[in-house]
Amino acid sequence: MTLTTFDDIGRVLREHQHFAILSHVRPDGDALGSQLALALSLQQLGKDVRVWNEDGMLEKYSFLPRAELLTKPPATADNVDVAIALDTAIQNRLGTAFGAIGSAKIWINIDHHPSNPGYGDMVIVDPSAPATGEIIFRLIKSQGLPFNHDIAENLYAAISTDTGSFQYPNTSARTFEIAAELVRAGGLNIGQLSQLLYESYPRRRLELLRELLRTMRFTEHDRVASFTLSLKTAADLGVLPEDNEGLIDHLRAIRSVIVAVFFEELKDGKVRVSMRSKNEAFDVCAICQKFGGGGHTLAAGARIRGSLAEVEEKFLEEIREVVKRGS
């Protein structure tokens, strides 16, 4: 692997015809928005583009322009010239989308997770970018690739959601400059878009929050807060996996809390752990990496085999050690 530049990627995009654009399982706004934005730009260049995610398009992001382009991968593998993984820290987080690529001459990996090991033939991993959408914007602009309203709206959704509405620490002046250009050049209606992004939740999401708050636990003098979701509660409420995205922020928003944790029982005998930190000294990515996961210093996750109670115990013990060392 050699150092990849935007020019290298621009050349590969122009020189090939058949593309597949993939992102991680349990996608977020950054994954889906980045995929659609790059796909639309390549389509305008006259390219043939597949846009696949294991989970398909989520209901809550189905308002994104041209959302219908994003589908679940087909059961039988397909051959492409170039496969592009976006926003995906480790290759196996591509899930079934990875298996749907029979062969690809070139694998491109574009991401902003510091834990990304740099899989693939061409790699751009920029941890200073608060969203993969920001890297896609810079790629499109630097290479003079097609850009229009639909691309702008997808990129704005990617950046707005992954920065927690322009609040997380790696939100920079550059992020605001890019957002300004998306609004100006894309002719975006921010009021309408924000309502679609942040004020269009189904009622069951708040009913879920009510149940999560009942399980809320504080340890380490209220510096660590956690809550849990069992399969039974999820079934009783009829919630979708996507309904819990962002609910952990309620724990992080408590003044005393430094580390917030969400434990979600999964159907495959594993527990999904989602972590947030408010302090660079408490690197939740390092903790998750110990359990085979990854992410960013202040937001990370892992999937661990075991019962909800076992994983909760093991994790809180590990966090206790780290918090003690830091205090």
The residue ranges that bind ligand AMP (CB under 6 A) are 24, 89-90, 93, 113, 274, 293-296, 299-303
Name the one residue in this structure whose structure tokens are 């892992």.
302
The residue (of 105 and 290) whose beta carbon lies closer to ligand AMP is: 290
Q: Is 30 a binder of Mn ion (CB under 5 A)?
A: yes
- By a kind-dependent CB cut-off of 5 to 8 A, residue 162 interacts, out of ligand AMP, Mn ion, none, with Mn ion
State how far the Cα of 50 lies from the Cα of 35, in Å rounded to an integer: 10
| Minimum distance, C-beta of residue 320 to Mn ion, in the bound complex (Å) | 28
31 binds Mn ion (CB under 5 A): yes
| Residue whose CB is nearest to Mn ion in the complex, by number | 30
Binding partner of residue 50 among Mn ion, ligand AMP, none, CB cut-off 5 to 8 Å per kind: none
- Kindly state the smallest distance separating residue 55's Cβ from ligand AMP, in Å: 12
* Contact call for residues 242 and 27 (beta carbons, < 8 A): no
Which of ligand AMP, Mn ion, none sits in contact with 303, Cβ below 5 to 8 A by type? Answer: ligand AMP
Within 8 A by CB and 6+ apart from 73, the residues are 52, 53, 54, 96, 97, 99, 100
299 touches, from ligand AMP, Mn ion, none (C-beta below 5 to 8 Å by class) = ligand AMP
CB 178, min distance to Mn ion, A = 14
User: Rule CB under 5 A: is residue 28 a binding residue for Mn ion?
Assistant: yes
| Element counts in the chain: helices (H) and strands (E) | 12, 12
Question: Torsion over CA of 43, 118, 167 and 192, rounded to 10 degrees?
Answer: 20
30 binds, among Mn ion, ligand AMP, none (CB under 5 to 8 A by kind): Mn ion
How far apart, in Å, are the Cα atoms of 26 and each of 56, 58, 245?
A: 9, 9, 9
C-beta of 183: minimal distance to ligand AMP in Å?
25
Residue with token string 């062969």? 103
| 295: partner contacted, choices ligand AMP, Mn ion, none (Cβ within 5-8 A by kind) | ligand AMP
Residues 6+ apart with CB under 8 A from 25: 53, 54, 55, 93, 94, 95
Alpha carbons 79 and 278: distance in angstroms, whole number: 43
Q: Which stretch binds Mn ion (CB under 5 A): 146-154, 158-166, 210-218, 308-316?
A: 158-166
Binding site for Mn ion (CB under 5 A): 28, 30-31, 87, 132, 162
